[in-house]
Amino acid sequence: MKKRLIGGVVATAILIPVAAFAASGVIDMPTRTPMTTEQVKVDEVGKSTLEKLYLAYPETKSFEIIDASNVQGDVSKGKNVTNMKQTSIVLQEKGGTGKKITLHTNGITDEIEHVIQENWEPKEKSLITLSDQQIKAKVSDLIDKMYGNVETYEVAIEQMENPNQKTWMLNYTNEMFEEPVFQVFVQDNTISLTKIVGIPTADTPSNIKVEGLFSRNGKPDYTADNFLNDEKLFALLKMSPTELKQELAKGKTVVEIAASKNVSKQQVIDVIAETQAKGQLQGDGVAITEKALKEMMKAIEPKVLPVIEHKTETEW
Residue type at 187 in one-letter notation: Q
DSSP state, residue 28 = B
Residue with the bigger pLDDT between 30 and 135: it is: 135
Q: Look at residue 313 in the predicted model and tell me its pLDDT.
A: 64
Q: What is the mean pLDDT of residues 70-74?
A: 78
Whether pLDDT at 77 is above 90: no
pLDDT of the residue at 61: 94
Query: What distance lies between CA 316 and its chain's CA centroid?
Result: 34
Looking at residue 6, its pLDDT comes to 46
- Nearest one of 110, 136, 69, 117 to 198, comparing CA atoms: 110
Full DSSP string of 77-101:
ETTEEEEEEEEEEEEE-TTSSS-EE
Q: Tally Cβ neighbours within 10 Å of residue 282.
A: 16
For residue 12, which of 97, 85, 118 has the smallest C-alpha distance?
85
Quick one: pLDDT at residue 75?
A: 54
**Residue 43 near residue 209, CB atoms below 8 Å:** no
pLDDT confidence bin for 79, thresholds 50/70/90: very low
Q: Is the pLDDT higher at 83 or at 251? A: 251
Confidence of residue 204 (pLDDT cuts 50, 70, 90): very low
Span 255-290, pLDDT tens digits: 999 999 999 999 999 999 998 888 887 766 667 788
Count CA atoms closer than 13 A to 221's CA, side-chain side: 22
Instruction: Report yes or no: 251 and 316 within 8 Å, Cβ to Cβ.
Output: yes
Distance CA 233, CA 262 (A): 14
Distance CA 103, CA 25 (A): 21
Query: Could you tell me the pTM of the whole model?
Result: 0.57
For the stretch 206-233, pLDDT in tens is: 444 566 676 666 666 667 778 888 888 9
Mean of pLDDT values over 49-54: 92
State pLDDT tens for residues 180-189: 899 999 999 9
The pLDDT of residue 245 is: 83
What mean pLDDT do residues 225-249 have? 86
**Which positions ≥6 away from 230 have C-beta within 8 Å?**
271, 272, 275
Sheet of strand 190-195: strand arrangement: 32-34, 64-77, 80-92, 100-106, 112-118, 190-195, 182-187, 167-173, 154-159
Average pLDDT estimate for 13-36: 51
Share of the chain above pLDDT 70, in %: 76
So what's the pLDDT on residue 39? 94
Single-letter amino acid code for the residue at 249: A
* pLDDT tens track for 291-306: 888 888 988 888 898 8
Q: How confident is the model at residue 120 (pLDDT cuts 50, 70, 90)?
A: very high
- Looking at residue 174, its pLDDT comes to 81
More confident residue, 12 or 37: 37
